[in-house]
Amino acid sequence: MTPSHQLYLLVAVLTHGLVGYAVVRGLTRYPPAAGVVGAVLPDVDLLLGPWLAGPLVHRGAIHTPAALAVVGGGALLLGVSRRRLAAFAVGFLTHLVLDSGTSAGVMWLFPASTARVALDLPVHGLLGTAVLWLASLVVVRFGPRSSRSVVDG
């Protein structure tokens, strides 16, 4: 992997984390840090890439609502609070929405279907990333505070 590709991936993961944080902070009373964890978790497949195959490749099974259900169920069994789990889920879903905008897309109906929603937008390009960062930073700085949120928790 070239250094420029590593930088691209780092910026993409940071973008997912920032968007997850901003959406959770701006729309809920849930802890936004849990949204960051949910927003970056699907990209764990980037770290495990050389050892993964089949449905576990990047943007494979880990980038699906089914993975969210498995992780969420496990978290509930381990006693993670519903508030934290809800924030995690919102962050995770922001990741899937953003990656649905790429040419690789996301398998929203996995395992029932491997069809992908792939809108082929410049989500992780320079302009797309700049827009996402700007919008997220505006929400974090000027958006509703957790005490005035849209979704109660």
Q: Does this model's pTM top 0.85?
A: yes
> What integer pLDDT is reported at residue 59 of this predicted model?
77
Residue 50: the pLDDT is 61
SS3 label, residue 36: helix
Please name the residues in contact with 42: beta carbons below 8 A apart, sequence gap of 6 or more: 16, 62, 63, 67, 92, 95, 96, 99
Domain ranges of the chain: 3-148
Query: What average pLDDT values come out for the chain (153 residues) when binned by 10 residues?
Result: 84 96 94 96 80 64 94 96 96 97 94 94 92 95 63 51
SS3 state at 106: strand
